């Protein structure tokens, strides 16, 4: 083969190699001029040295959910006297107060929400004395009362006259409510009111053994009596019995819920404030 022919073969091979370097697959529309060919690892490190590679983001350590700190228990400022009036422990303390209480619930969401809205408006706390059988029917309402910062009291399971019952019945009527309420809201009631205000030495003793402060009332709205079943009548009945430390008995009833805002306004206008049940001696 002549020297000239060898040169021609070598030149043709060079042209073919140059054409192959610009090949683009039909599935890859990236222009050949921008293709970066693989290089050994040291070269890649050197090329990227001017722009440090991003460090891998560390996996965050899960933060345990913070448990809500329990609200501090208010210090005792009041006590109940023999008539179940609220009396300041300090002789110079505020005597012009009332205690708000509601019996026989929880029954109806709309009524409870109306009562709660009014209590919130007046920044007032009350004791809701509940019956076990009603809590069993409406556990969500018990939780609602608790979540809104109101105080739950024990009013027996079946709302029967405990004074007429055998000791084992009394035990069960009180104990079952304690256990039921604790299972739903995580704490037991600390107040006890016997249905109809009818108790006995044994009922008082059992309440005490369950850690309950026994009470009846000293100002009855009588909202369960036919002639007082209107908002004006409820207000009138409470105000005509009003005295320092009044322990006011009311119920979860439509006319009482309707009357409550005006009643609390009238009490405030007369200079009365509302005792937080948690500040009563014997519940700490």
For the stretch 33-56, what's the b/e string if a residue is b when 16 or more beta carbons lie within 10 angstroms of its beta carbon?
eeeeeeeeeeeeeeeeeeeeeeee
CATH code: domain of residue 142 = 3.20.20.370
Residue 128: which residues within 8 A CB-CB, separation 6 or more? 101, 102, 105, 106, 145, 150, 151, 152, 153
Among 36-45, 68-77, 190-199, 231-240, the minimum mean pLDDT is found in 36-45
The residues that bridge with 214 in the sheet, in sequence order, are 192
pLDDT greater at residue 73 or residue 45: 73
Q: Which domain holds residue 129?
A: 78-221+243-252+270-279
The answer as to whether 2 is a domain residue is no
In this model, does residue 154 exceed pLDDT 90?
A: yes
The answer as to whether 168 is a domain residue is yes
Residue 123: its pLDDT value, please? Answer: 98
The answer as to whether 175 is a domain residue is yes
Total number of domains in the chain:
1
The answer as to whether 52 is a domain residue is no
Mean pLDDT to the nearest integer, 110-119: 98
Residue 283: its pLDDT value, please? Answer: 75
3-state secondary structure of 247: strand
C-alpha–C-alpha distance, residues 191 and 280, integer Å? 10
Outline where DSSP puts E strands in the chain: 78-80, 86-88, 97-105, 126-130, 151-154, 191-192, 213-214, 219-220, 246-251, 273-274
> Is residue 277 within 8 Å of residue 151, measured between CB atoms?
yes
Annotated catalytic residues are 103, 251
Exposed / middle / buried, residue 65 (Cβ in 10 Å: 0-12, 13-18, 19+): exposed
The answer as to whether 155 is a domain residue is yes
In this model, does residue 36 exceed pLDDT 60?
A: no
The answer as to whether 186 is a domain residue is yes
> Is residue 189 within 8 Å of residue 157, measured between CB atoms?
no
In this model, does residue 55 exceed pLDDT 80?
A: no
Q: Express as a percent the part of the chain with pLDDT over 90.
A: 73
Residue 200: its pLDDT value, please? Answer: 98
> Is residue 275 within 8 Å of residue 86, measured between CB atoms?
yes
> 200, 196, 206: which is closest to 161 by C-alpha?
196
The answer as to whether 35 is a domain residue is no
Q: Express as a percent the part of the chain with pLDDT over 70.
A: 74
In this model, does residue 10 exceed pLDDT 80?
A: no
The answer as to whether 9 is a domain residue is no
Mean pLDDT to the nearest integer, 95-113: 98
Mean pLDDT to the nearest integer, 155-159: 98
Residue 44: its pLDDT value, please? Answer: 33
Residue 142: its pLDDT value, please? Answer: 98
pLDDT greater at residue 6 or residue 81: 81
C-alpha–C-alpha distance, residues 258 and 232, integer Å? 9
C-alpha–C-alpha distance, residues 191 and 101, integer Å? 11
Which value, to the nearest 10 degrees, does the dihedral of the CA atoms of residues 159, 163, 168, 171 take?
60
162-185 tens-digit pLDDT: 999 999 999 999 999 999 999 999
Residue 42: its pLDDT value, please? Answer: 37
Residue 69: its pLDDT value, please? Answer: 39
pTM (predicted TM-score): 0.75
Under DSSP, the state recorded for 38 is P
Backbone angles phi, psi at 203, to 5 degrees: -60, -45
Strands 213-214 and 191-192, bridge-based pairing? parallel
Residue 74: its pLDDT value, please? Answer: 83
238-261 tens-digit pLDDT: 999 999 999 999 999 999 999 999
Residue 57: its pLDDT value, please? Answer: 45
C-alpha–C-alpha distance, residues 172 and 182, integer Å? 15
Among 49-58, 218-227, 241-250, the minimum mean pLDDT is found in 49-58
Exposed / middle / buried, residue 141 (Cβ in 10 Å: 0-12, 13-18, 19+): buried
């Amino acid at each position: 083969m002549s020297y000239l022919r060898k040169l021609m073969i070598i030149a043709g091979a060079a042209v073919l190699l140059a054409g192959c370097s610009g090949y683009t697959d039909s599935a890859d529309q990236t222009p050949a001029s921008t293709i970066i060919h693989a290089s050994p690892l040291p070269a890649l490190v050197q090329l990227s040295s001017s722009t440090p590679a991003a460090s891998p983001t560390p996996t965050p350590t899960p933060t345990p959910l913070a448990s809500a700190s329990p609200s501090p228990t208010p210090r005792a400022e009041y006590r109940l006297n023999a008539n179940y009036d609220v009396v300041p422990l300090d002789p110079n303390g505020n005597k012009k107060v009332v205690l708000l209480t509601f019996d026989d619930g929880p029954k109806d969401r709309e009524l409870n929400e109306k009562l709660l809205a009014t209590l919130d408006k007046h920044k007032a706390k009350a004791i809701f004395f509940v019956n076990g059988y009603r809590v069993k029917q409406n556990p969500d309402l018990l939780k609602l009362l608790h979540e809104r910062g109101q105080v739950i009291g024990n009013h027996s399971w079946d709302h029967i006259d405990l004074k007429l019952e055998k000791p084992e019945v009394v035990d069960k009527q009180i104990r079952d409510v304690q256990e039921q309420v604790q299972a739903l809201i995580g704490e037991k009631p600390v107040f006890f009111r016997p249905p109809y205000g009818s108790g006995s030495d044994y009922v008082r003793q059992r309440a005490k053994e369950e850690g309950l402060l026994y009470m009846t009332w000293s100002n009855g709205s009588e909202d369960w009596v036919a002639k007082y079943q209107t908002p004006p009548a409820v207000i009138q009945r409470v105000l005509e019995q009003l005295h320092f430390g009044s322990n006011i008995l009311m119920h979860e009833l439509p006319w009482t819920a309707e009357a409550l805002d005006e009643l609390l306004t009238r009490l405030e206008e007369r200079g009365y404030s509302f005792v937080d049940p948690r500040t009563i001696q014997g519940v700490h």
